[in-house]
Structure 1
Amino acid sequence: MKKTIKSPFLEEIYENARYSSPIKSLLKKPYIIDVESTNNCNMSCLFCDRQIMKRGKGFMDEKIFQTLV
């Protein structure tokens, strides 16, 4: 197999992905968590399901937000 990766950074990513266990990666904690503090939006983005949402519009309680963050 001819080696074409010239960046040490990309090579390390490739090697880690190649030999890492899928089970181990599933057990790791997420790096990013998206907290929706409000669903009160007046935009009409095509990809958003806000228009068909059955729950009411509103804002997250500040104490809940502080607990999460």
Structure 2
Amino acid sequence: METIFAIGLCVAALYLITRRWIWILFFGISGLAAAFSTLASIFHFQILGALGFCFLAWICFVITAVIADGYK
């Protein structure tokens, strides 16, 4: 019974990774998390961490924009 559930889960995962909206959702939420981590690092005076999170947020938002505009 667990094997059938695992196979069904794998098929659902393979279906979802082919959908554009799941990648937009994934990178959008990741960009928001990195942006909030930037703010948290600034509040805790960890400036290098804030710069790293800022670049990570920027990269995630750029990837989201490219995916959203790329397949029209």
TM-score (norm 2): 0.30
Task: Give the number of the structure whose residues are more often helix, by fraction.
Answer: 2
| Greater RCO, 1 or 2 (C-alpha within 8 Å, sep 6+) | 2
